[in-house]
Structure formats: structure tokens, C-alpha cells
């Protein structure tokens, strides 16, 4: 039997845990996707996001920032009618703002990847929490990232969302020590 962290319960959770969570991510498009998904997750379960992920990918133009920056109120209203999405007007309205801010960061730093990985000195933080209850919901680094992203115009990017993003993008590896996916 495969040993893994205790949180994955559904088939989608298990696939995500085994193939993505905690693995260093350096592709700007995927980093933007994870940033958006983590913001959409605020107040909801990650399983809900995984269930709606493909629908969001399709509705959000494959997370293409150059397309999303053109979104207007008509587009947000259209998204609000899509029952396969998280229909929160503030979250949907933040898509354009986050795409604009993301593009500005890319221009300033050469890539979002260079910008975000600098917060962890370009190497993942490997944690060895003994049980899931020890895993924090925020850290000093997620506080710094959140503060800096907000200053740059990002929305739905509080410190808890930033820490979840760090886990998703592999900036921090919080797999439990006995998890077979800890260093894969």
C-alpha cells in the first residue's frame, strides 16, 4: 500500500498529491494557474477546487494572462452564470487584476518564477513535520510574499493563501516524513 500524507481523501486529491503537490514548479503559466486556484479556494475545500479545476481552466482561457487582462464586466457576468465555477464575483473580478499584476512582475523580474523563488533563495524549504497538525497555515515568508503581492496589485492573496501556494508550487515541501512522495 502506498504511504502518503493523510489529507488526500478523494481520487482527485490523491492524483494531485502524488503528481503535483510539493513538486518545484518553475513554469510561469502553471504558477499563475496555482495562484488563481489558491485564491479561488479561499473559504472552500481543496477538493472543491480540484473538482472544478478543468472547468476553470476552460472558462479562464487556459489561465492565459494575455487573454485574462482583456476581461470586462460582461465577461465576469458570463462567468457568474457558469455553475461549474466558483461563482464569487469578487474572486472572478480579481482575475483581470491578478493577470495585470502578474504580467508587471514578469516584466520587472524577467519571469514570475525568478520573482517568487527568490523568496526561498531559489530552493525548496523541506519541512519535516511529524503530523499534519504541525503544518502551519502561514509563515514569515508567506507573510512577506502576501505583503509584496498585495503591494503589486494582486487580490485574494492573503498569507494563508500564499502558504498554500508555496506548498502547491513546491516552494515548501510539507509532505509527511513517511510519505513516499516526500522527495519525488
Task: Give catalytic residues, as residue numbers.
Answer: 16, 38, 46
**Are 82 and 40 a contacting pair, CB within 8 Å?**
no
What phi, psi does 172 have (nearest 5°)? -130, 140
Cell matching residue 164: 498554500
Amino acid at each position: 500500500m502506498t504511504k502518503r500524507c493523510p489529507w488526500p481523501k478523494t481520487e482527485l486529491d490523491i492524483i494531485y498529491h502524488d503528481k503535483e503537490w510539493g513538486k518545484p514548479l518553475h513554469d510561469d503559466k502553471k504558477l499563475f494557474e496555482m495562484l488563481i486556484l489558491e485564491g479561488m479556494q479561499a473559504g472552500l475545500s481543496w477538493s472543491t477546487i480540484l473538482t472544478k479545476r478543468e472547468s476553470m481552466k476552460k472558462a479562464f482561457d487556459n489561465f492565459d494572462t494575455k487573454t485574462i487582462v482583456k476581461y470586462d464586466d460582461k465577461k465576469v457576468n458570463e462567468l457568474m452564470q457558469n455553475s461549474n465555477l466558483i461563482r464569487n464575483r469578487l474572486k472572478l473580478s480579481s482575475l483581470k487584476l491578478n493577470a495585470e499584476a502578474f504580467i508587471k512582475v514578469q516584466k520587472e523580474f524577467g519571469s514570475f518564477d525568478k520573482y517568487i523563488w527568490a523568496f526561498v533563495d531559489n530552493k525548496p524549504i523541506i519541512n519535516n513535520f511529524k503530523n499534519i497538525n504541525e503544518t502551519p497555515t502561514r509563515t514569515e515568508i508567506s507573510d512577506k510574499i502576501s505583503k509584496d503581492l498585495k503591494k503589486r496589485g494582486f487580490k485574494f492573496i492573503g498569507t494563508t493563501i500564499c502558504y498554500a501556494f508555496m506548498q502547491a508550487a513546491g516552494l515548501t515541501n510539507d509532505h509527511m516524513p513517511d510519505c513516499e512522495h516526500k522527495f519525488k
